[in-house]
Structure 1
Amino acid sequence: MSTQESEMPVPFELDERPGPRPITNPEIPHQQLDQIAPVELQEELWRRMSGLDHVRTGASVVSLPETRALHLDPAHASGPQAAFFGDSTEFAHLHGVLDGSLHALLPQPDAADVVAKRWGEPHPAVLEGRIPPTLVMLYGPRDERELETVWELVRRSHAFASGLR
Structure 2
Amino acid sequence: MSNPTAPDAGEPVSDIALPVRQGSRPRTTPTNPHSQLDQMPTPLLSQELAKRIAQLPGIRLGLSGRAPPGTIGFYLKEQDAHGPEEAFLLGLEFAHLHPSPDGSLHLPLPEPLRSKAIASGWAEKHPLAGHPTVSRDIVMVYAPREPAEIEVVVTLVSASWRYARGN
The two structures have a TM-score, normalised by structure 1, of 0.91
Identity %: 38
Q: Which residue of 2 aligns with 1:64?
A: 68
SS of the counterpart of 1:125?
coil
- Paired position in structure 1 for 2:106: 103
Q: Compared with structure 1, are the counterparts of its residues 135 and 75 closer, same or farther at alpha carbon in structure 2 (3 Å cutoff)?
A: same
User: For residues 150 and 43 of structure 1, what CA distance do their matches in structure 2 show?
Assistant: 13
Question: TM-score, structure 2 length as denominator?
Answer: 0.90
Whole-Å separation in 2 of the counterparts to 1:29 and 1:22: 16
Question: CA–CA distance in 2 between the matches of 1:28 and 1:4?
Answer: 31
Q: Is the 8 A contact 1:22 1:32 kept in 2?
A: yes
* Amino acid corresponding to residue 7 of structure 1 in structure 2: D
Residue-by-residue CA offset, 1:103-153 (whole Å, 9 max, x unaligned): 111112111111111101011112x64444310000000112211100111
Indicate whether 1:89 and 2:106 are aligned: no
Q: Give 2:80's match in structure 1, choosing from 76, 82, 96.
A: 76
Residue equivalent to 2:143: 140
- What's the offset of the Cα at 1:6? 5.3
**Once the two structures are superposed, what CA deviation does each residue of 1:23-74 show, in whole Å capped at 9, x if it has no partner?**
0011100000000012111111100111211111101111011100101000
Label 1:150 to 1:82 Cα distance change in 2 as closer, same or farther (>3 A): same
Q: Which amino acid aligns with 1:13?
A: A
2:32 aligned to which of 19, 28, 33? 28
Structure 1 residue runs of 5 or longer lacking an equivalent are none
CA distance in 1, matches of 2:7, 2:148: 22
Is 1:39 aligned with 2:39?
no
Report the CA distance between 1:5 and its aligned residue. 3.3
Matches within 5 A, 1:146-157: 146-157=149-160
Are 2:110 and 1:112 aligned? Answer: no
The 1:133–1:109 alpha-carbon spacing in structure 2 relative to 1, beyond 3 Å, is: farther
Structure 2 CA distance for partners of 1:117 and 1:133, relative to 1, 3 Å: farther
- Change in Cα spacing, 1:6 to 1:152, as seen in structure 2 (3 Å) is closer
How large is the Cα RMSD of the aligned pairs? 1.7
Count of residue pairs brought into register by the alignment: 160
Deviation at 1:12, TM superposition (A): 3.1
Letter matched to residue 22 of structure 1: P
Contact 1:9 1:156 in 2 (8 A): no
Q: Which amino acid aligns with 2:111?
A: Q
**Contact 1:83/1:106 (CA < 8 Å) preserved in 2?**
yes
Instruction: Structure 2: give runs of 5+ residues left out of the alignment.
Output: none
